[in-house]
Amino acid sequence: MESISYDILPLLQLFLLIFTTLLFHIGINNPNLSSTGDHVPAEGVDSRFAVFIGPKLGKFLIWIYTLYEVLYLYLQAFSPASISTFSPQILASINPLPLIPISVMGYMLMIIGGLGRIWCYKTLGVFFTFELAIRSSHKLIKTGPYSYVRHPSYTFACILTIGLWLVHQRLTNFFPKRVTREEEELAKAFGKEWTVYALKTKRFIPKII
């Protein structure tokens, strides 16, 4: 019986991609709508867009992009020869990055941010709304993540967004290529001095990467 040959890394990335996209979907999904008995202060058009339209648009766009990346990674794992047909050179700039340190960091941030948002949803329960609303039975919650900071859901939303930005190449499509080119020129200019410096000094975060 002929064994099936496939690359495990694209499959691992496929799992991470779907898992983090689900977390993003949940993390920007309004868990509770305000009711007629709630006090809802008037807000501007920008706030209403952020509450009603922005999350729906964000979920739609990220799933479209994720579907493309899922198909690409599936072909990379099981049928590498067909990638050039599925993804011509003109689309190369939006192909998913391999599991390099900066994309792995993006996945980690999305997991932390997404799980953190879910933690906030669970802690506040019915009191968590995207609309600015005070319910008739409202209580001041000071447990869970709210025992550490007053607005943890925004902290986790920022972490989730930065992770999304890294995973889906808004920064990383440019940075790795640019860093590689800069380091090539620095190596030419400074030779051994650059080599010693590069061995001792990480690229982006001290002691990490």
What would the pLDDT profile of 63-101 be if each residue is shown by its tens digit? 998 898 888 888 877 877 776 676 655 455 556 777 888
Q: What is the pLDDT of residue 4?
A: 41
Percent of the chain predicted with pLDDT > 70? 76
Phi, psi at residue 39, to the nearest 5°?
Answer: -85, 115
Report if residue 202 sits inside a domain. Answer: no
Report if residue 95 sits inside a domain. Answer: yes
> Distance (Å, rounded) from C-alpha 100 to C-alpha 44?
42
Please give the structure tokens belonging to residue 65.
Answer: 């992009």
pTM higher than 0.85 for the full model?
no
Q: Given phi > 0 = left and psi -120 to 50 = alpha, else beta, which region is 2?
A: beta
Report if residue 15 sits inside a domain. Answer: yes
Instruction: Name the pLDDT band for 204 (thresholds 50, 70, 90).
Output: low
pLDDT for residue 209 is more than 80 = no
Query: Measured in whole angstroms, how far is the alpha carbon of residue 161 from the centre of its chain?
Result: 5
Q: Given phi > 0 = left and psi -120 to 50 = alpha, else beta, which region is 61?
A: alpha
pLDDT for residue 1 is more than 50 = no
Query: Measured in whole angstroms, how far is the alpha carbon of residue 34 from the centre of its chain?
Result: 28
Report if residue 53 sits inside a domain. Answer: yes
Phi, psi at residue 118, to the nearest 5°?
Answer: -60, -40
List, for residues 9-62, the tens digit of each pLDDT value. Answer: 888 888 999 999 999 999 998 888 766 555 555 556 666 677 778 888 889 989
Report if residue 83 sits inside a domain. Answer: yes
Cβ atoms of 111 and 135 within 8 Å: the answer is no
Report if residue 64 sits inside a domain. Answer: yes
Instruction: Name the pLDDT band for 108 (thresholds 50, 70, 90).
Output: very high
CA distances from 64 to 69, 72, 129, 170 (A): 9, 13, 26, 16
Q: What is the number of structural domains in the chain?
A: 1
Q: Which of 29-38, 108-117, 160-169 has the highest mean pLDDT?
A: 108-117
Domain coverage including residue 58: 8-173
pLDDT for residue 203 is more than 60 = yes
Percent of the chain predicted with pLDDT > 90? 22
Cβ atoms of 99 and 9 within 8 Å: the answer is yes
Q: Give 38's DSSP letter.
A: S
Cβ atoms of 154 and 110 within 8 Å: the answer is no
Report if residue 114 sits inside a domain. Answer: yes
